Amino acid sequence: MQHEDAAQGTIDALKREIDALQRRVAELEIPARRYQALCAADLLSVQIFAPDGRTLEVNRGWEHLWRLRLEDVRAYNIRQDPALATRGVAPFVERAFGQGEPVRLPAIRYDPLDTGILHEGATRWVTTTIHPILDEAGGIREVVLIHADIGELKQSEEELLQQQKLLEAAVEERTAELSQKLAVIHEQQRAIAALSTPVLRIWDGVLALPLIDRIDAERAARVLDVLLHAIVETSAEFVIIDVSGVPFVDAEVAGYLRNAVRAAGLLGSRCIIVGISAEMARALVAHDLGFEGVPTFARLQEGLRLAMAHERRAMR
pLDDT, one tens digit per residue, over 140-193 is: 999 999 998 887 655 556 655 676 776 677 778 778 887 888 787 777 666 555
Residues paired with residue 299 on neighbouring β-strands, in sequence order: none
Distance CA(257)–CA(254), nearest Å, equals 5
Of the candidate CATH numbers 3.30.200.20, 3.30.750.24, 3.40.50.300, 1.20.1250.20, the domain formed by 196-315 belongs to: 3.30.750.24
DSSP codes of every residue in 100-130: ---EEEEEEEE-GGGGSS-S----EEEEEEE
CA dihedral 193, 194, 195, 200 (to 10 degrees): 140
Residue 259 near residue 222 (C-beta atoms within 8 A): no
Describe the crossing of helices 151-196 and 217-234 by its angle, rounded to 10 degrees: 60
How many degrees, rounded to 5, is the angle at CA 143 between CA 109 and CA 97?
80
> Is the separation of the CB atoms in 144 and 159 below 8 Å?
no
Q: In what order do the strands lie in the sheet with 124-134?
A: 55-58, 45-49, 140-149, 124-134, 103-110
- Report the half-sphere exposure of 24 (CA within 13 A, side-chain side): 6
Q: What is the DSSP string of 9-64?
A: HHHHHHHHHHHHHHHHHHHHHHHHHHHHHHHH-SSSEEEEE-TTSBEEEE-HHHHH
Please identify every stretch of the chain with a pLDDT value under 50, giving residue numbers as ranges.
Answer: none
Q: What is the CA radius of gyration of the chain?
A: 49
| Of 38, 31, 34, nearest in space to 57 by CA | 38
The full set of domain ranges for the chain reads: 38-152, 196-315
Which CATH code for domain 38-152?
A: 3.30.450.20
Residues sharing a CB contact under 8 Å with residue 257, sequence separation 6 or more, in sequence order:
241, 243, 249, 273, 291
**What's the burial of 298, exposed, middle or buried (CB within 10 Å: 0-12/13-18/19+)?**
middle
